[in-house]
């Protein structure tokens, strides 16, 4: 059962939050001196459902279990990953909490899974929130030749 | 060569019940509250011909394509997005880039000519669009259900910037 959205104060503002990104999130930006490949801000949006959030992985939890975060987040589906601080999300009026995934037929188990939620029910993050997360994000496991924003 | 045809909703209050297939030579539309009738066909634009393979790919994505529980692009969203693409087509512009969203919707994006335009197709007749003019910094967002006039103007603006002569440097 999905967790009711909440802000977990045990996740400190400086804690690293990881967001996996896919090759499908890459766009070509022709504004600027040269065309470049970068991530779309649509990579920073929530899942379906008014109370659903944006999936993330919590780095500290992996360290506690002596799991290599870079290896964990790019398996089983190969993706890249970006990271930002929990405080970056809170500065955008978002909440962060743990939501371990266990026995979900649609996803492999992930005890380090968390969510970023809006404080109110909504279909998507606001543009400001998505683009704010995009600007805060840095490559954690980069996709070759792709700028993070 | 067999022509590439698709049907397009002329009346925006209809619910599409057609198959998005190149083998369709006539299509029966079932509007919400009237008798079925046959639509005529129109050729696909260059944009939709170029995007067809990507639409097929995005609707076939496996669950979890985004590394989490991401859903493939839904068929009704894909069909409506293709209709929007058709509506907005301008021959002098590149086709939009298609970006799937984890909730099964799709975004159309252009980043060129000092504009960013992002059109979120959340479902049939559920569209949110964003535009930023990089020269002025001006941003705007609109929600659209059936009237795509404003969006068509945005795309027209995007195409017109290309035709502005570049200033010669001193």
ipTM of this complex prediction, to 2 decimal places? 0.91
Q: What angle do CA B34, B127, B57 make, to 5 degrees?
A: 95
Is residue A10 domain-resident?
A: no
Q: What is the pLDDT of residue A75?
A: 76
Is residue A3 domain-resident?
A: no
User: How far does chain B reach from its first CA to its final CA, in angstroms?
Assistant: 52
Given an 8 Å threshold on Cβ–Cβ distance, is B130 in contact with A48? no
The pLDDT tens digits of the residues spanning A89-136 come to 999 999 999 999 988 887 788 999 999 999 998 888 999 999 999 999
Is residue A5 domain-resident?
A: no
Q: Which residues of A touch B71 (CB under 8 A)?
A: 48
Is residue A8 domain-resident?
A: no
Asked if B105 and B125 touch (Cβ cutoff 8 Å), the reply is: no
Is residue A93 domain-resident?
A: yes
As beta bridge partners, residue B129 has B119, B142
Q: Extract the runs of DSSP E, i.e. beta strands, from B7-164.
A: 27-29, 37-39, 42-43, 97-100, 106-112, 115-123, 126-133, 139-144
The pLDDT tens digits of the residues spanning B85-142 come to 999 999 999 999 999 999 999 999 999 999 999 999 999 999 999 999 999 999 999 9
Q: Which of A18-32, A76-90, B33-47, B61-75 is least confident?
A: B33-47
The pLDDT tens digits of the residues spanning B145-166 come to 999 999 999 999 999 865 444 4
pTM flag (> 0.80): yes
Q: Where are the domains of chain B?
A: 1-43, 46-159
Average pLDDT over chain B reads: 79
Give the pLDDT band of residue A26 (cuts 50, 70, 90): very high
Contacts of B80 (CB under 8 A, 6+ apart): B16, B121, B123, B124, B125
Closest-CA residue of A relative to B109 is A27
Is residue A6 domain-resident?
A: no
The range of the structural domain enclosing residue A55 comes to 16-147
Give the pLDDT band of residue A3 (cuts 50, 70, 90): confident
Is residue A125 domain-resident?
A: yes
Contacts of A108 (CB under 8 A, 6+ apart): A76, A101
Domain count, chain A: 1
Give the pLDDT band of residue B31 (cuts 50, 70, 90): very low
The radius of gyration of chain B from alpha carbons, rounded to an integer in Å, stands at 17
Q: Please tell me whether the peptide bond between A43 and the residue prior to it is cis, using omega within 30 degrees of 0.
A: no
Cα dihedral: A42, A45, A47, A51 (round 10)? -150
As beta bridge partners, residue B130 has B118, B141
Select the residue of B69, B100, B109 nearest A106 (Cβ to Cβ).
Answer: B69
Q: Which residues of B touch A127 (CB under 8 A)?
A: 130, 141
């Amino acid at each position: 059962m999905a967790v009711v959205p909440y802000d977990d104060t045990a996740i400190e503002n400086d804690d690293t939050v990881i967001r996996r990104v896919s090759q499908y999130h890459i766009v070509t930006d022709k504004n600027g001196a040269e065309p470049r490949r970068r991530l779309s801000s649509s990579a920073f949006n929530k899942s379906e459902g008014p109370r659903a959030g944006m999936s993330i992985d919590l780095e500290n939890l992996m360290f506690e279990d002596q799991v290599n975060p870079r290896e964990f987040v790019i398996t089983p589906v190969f993706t890249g990953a970006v990271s930002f601080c929990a405080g970056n999300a809170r500065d955008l009026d978002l909440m962060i909490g743990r939501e371990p995934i266990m026995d979900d037929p649609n996803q492999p188990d992930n005890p380090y899974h968390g969510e970023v939620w809006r404080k109110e029910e909504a279909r998507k993050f606001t543009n400001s929130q998505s683009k704010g997360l995009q600007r805060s994000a840095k490559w954690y496991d980069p996709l070759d030749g792709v700028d993070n924003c | 060569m067999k022509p590439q045809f698709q049907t397009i909703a002329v009346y925006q209050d209809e619910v599409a019940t057609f198959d998005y297939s190149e083998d369709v030579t006539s299509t029966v539309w079932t509007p919400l509250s009237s008798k079925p009738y046959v639509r005529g066909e129109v050729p696909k634009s260059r944009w939709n011909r170029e995007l067809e393979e990507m639409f097929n790919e995005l609707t076939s994505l496996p669950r979890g394509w985004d590394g989490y529980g991401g859903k493939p692009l839904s068929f009704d969203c894909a069909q409506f997005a293709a209709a929007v693409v058709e509506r907005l087509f301008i021959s002098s512009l590149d086709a939009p880039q298609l970006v799937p969203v984890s909730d099964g919707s799709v975004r159309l994006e252009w980043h060129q000519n000092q504009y960013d335009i992002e059109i979120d197709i959340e479902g049939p007749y559920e569209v949110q669009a964003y535009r930023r003019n990089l020269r002025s910094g001006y941003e705007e967002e609109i929600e659209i259900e059936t009237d795509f006039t404003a969006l068509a103007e945005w795309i027209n603006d995007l195409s017109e910037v290309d035709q502005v002569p570049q200033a010669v440097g001193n």
